[in-house]
């Protein structure tokens, strides 16, 4: 497979009146043609800021201060705003978290679907309308001819998210970034949206970057998972690596906090105690150290690099150092060997 996206040593900060908030700190991600990866972690870990950095949409007072983002071999960070406008919605599309605020309430669904087609594909009004009807059929919205004339408030949350997916697909982009696409939707609609994205990925061979705080929703769609915490990547690997052989204590905590179908009434979810660090003053050592029951002295003094576990499975934890006490993960939790 050809490499579609390369993020190298990305640093993005927000310069507030109280100081510099270092939201993303040295992120490296590769994404291949036709691949779907999941970026997971708690709120505030840097997932969405990473995606906005790719799109060139980091809001003020934020700024990418270091790094490269290569898309088809071209550094997006060196492109002008005019050049980025030709890429957004055309070669890279984004599905935002809240479709109600992403869709313009004063324009019909048809107008909003037709706009990127007329802008990027130079279609006339009739051709764009026919294409828009076809897109609504692709995302399984019934009676598309009538729906084109309606406004966003006339659609349910799940329907609005389907419209956002149709808009993202309109120009057949090479990459779709989906930022929490199932937030605020009930579980039945969540499953439908994820299944729809999976079908469309296979049909159009589109690469997908799925951003979520929920490990449970990435298992079926993604082949690889990147776990972020406090602006850095703490673990990455295949879905099987992350679910069956995780190596970072933060990943262990995320997995243990997922509800299980076969849980008894006496069983309780295990929360991750404590709070993420203040990114105004990021710690010198491992950012997860204050919340980690396996923390050692070196964890406070120095942040670990990514240790190779096997293949493309890597984790940033001093427990993987040959000199550290042996700790292993099992399906029920964590134990010392």
State the pLDDT confidence band at 336, using cuts at 50, 70 and 90.
very low
State the pLDDT confidence band at 331, using cuts at 50, 70 and 90.
low
State the pLDDT confidence band at 267, using cuts at 50, 70 and 90.
confident
What are the structural domains of the chain? 3-222 (3.40.50.300), 228-336 (no CATH)
Query: In this predicted structure, what is the pLDDT of residue 333?
Result: 54
In this predicted model, what pLDDT tens digit does every residue of 117-170 receive, in sequence order? Answer: 998 989 999 999 999 999 999 888 999 999 999 999 999 888 898 898 888 888
Three-state secondary structure string covering the chain: CCEEEEEEEEEEEEEECCEEEEEEEEEEEEEECCCEEEEECCCCCCHHHHHHHHHCCCCCCEEEEEEEEEECCEEHHHCCHHHHHHHECCCEEEECCCHHHHCCCCCCHHHHHHHHHHHHCCCCHHHHHHHHHHHHHHCCCCCHHHHCCCCHHHCCHHHHHHHHHHHHHCCCCCEEEEECCCCCCCHHHHHHHHHHHHHHHHHHCCEEEEEECCHHHCCCCCCEEEEEECCEEEEEEEHHHHHHCCCCHHHHHHHHCCCCCCCCCCCCCCCCCCCCCCCCCCCCCCCCHHHCCCCCHHHHHCCCCCEEEECCEEECCHHHCCCCCCEEEECCEEEEC
Query: In this predicted structure, what is the pLDDT of residue 337?
Result: 40
């Amino acid at each position: 497979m050809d490499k579609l996206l390369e993020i190298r040593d990305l640093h993005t900060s927000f310069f507030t009146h109280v100081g510099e908030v270092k939201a993303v700190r040295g992120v490296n991600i590769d994404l291949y043609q036709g691949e779907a990866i999941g970026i997971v972690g708690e709120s505030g870990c840097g997932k969405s800021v990473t995606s906005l950095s790719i799109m060139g949409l980091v809001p003020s007072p934020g700024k990418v201060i270091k790094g490269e983002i290569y898309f088809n071999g071209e550094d997006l960070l060196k492109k002008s705003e005019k050049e980025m406008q030709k890429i957004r919605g055309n070669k890279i599309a984004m599905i935002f978290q809240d479709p109600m605020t992403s869709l313009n309430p004063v324009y019909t669904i048809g107008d909003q679907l037709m706009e990127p087609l007329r802008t990027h594909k130079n279609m006339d009004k009739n051709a764009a309308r026919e294409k828009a009807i076809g897109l609504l059929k692709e995302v399984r919205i019934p009676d598309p001819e009538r729906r084109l004339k309606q406004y966003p408030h006339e659609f349910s949350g799940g329907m609005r998210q389907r419209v956002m997916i149709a808009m993202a697909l309109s120009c057949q982009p090479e990459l779709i970034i989906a930022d929490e696409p199932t937030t605020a939707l009930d579980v039945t609609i969540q499953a439908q949206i994820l299944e729809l994205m999976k079908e469309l990925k296979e049909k159009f061979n589109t690469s997908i970057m799925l951003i979520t705080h929920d490990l449970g929703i990435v298992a079926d769609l993604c082949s690889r998972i990147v776990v972020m915490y406090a602006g850095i990547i703490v673990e990455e690997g295949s879905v099987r690596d992350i679910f069956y052989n995780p190596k970072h204590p933060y990943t262990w905590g995320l997995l243990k906090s997922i509800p299980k179908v076969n849980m008894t009434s006496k069983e309780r979810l295990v929360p991750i105690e404590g709070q993420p660090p203040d990114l105004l003053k990021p710690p010198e050592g491992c950012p997860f150290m204050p919340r980690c029951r396996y923390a050692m002295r070196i964890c406070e003094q120095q942040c670990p690099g990514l240790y190779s576990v096997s293949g493309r499975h890597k984790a940033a934890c001093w427990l993987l150092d040959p000199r550290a006490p042996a700790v292993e993960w099992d399906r029920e939790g964590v134990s010392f060997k």
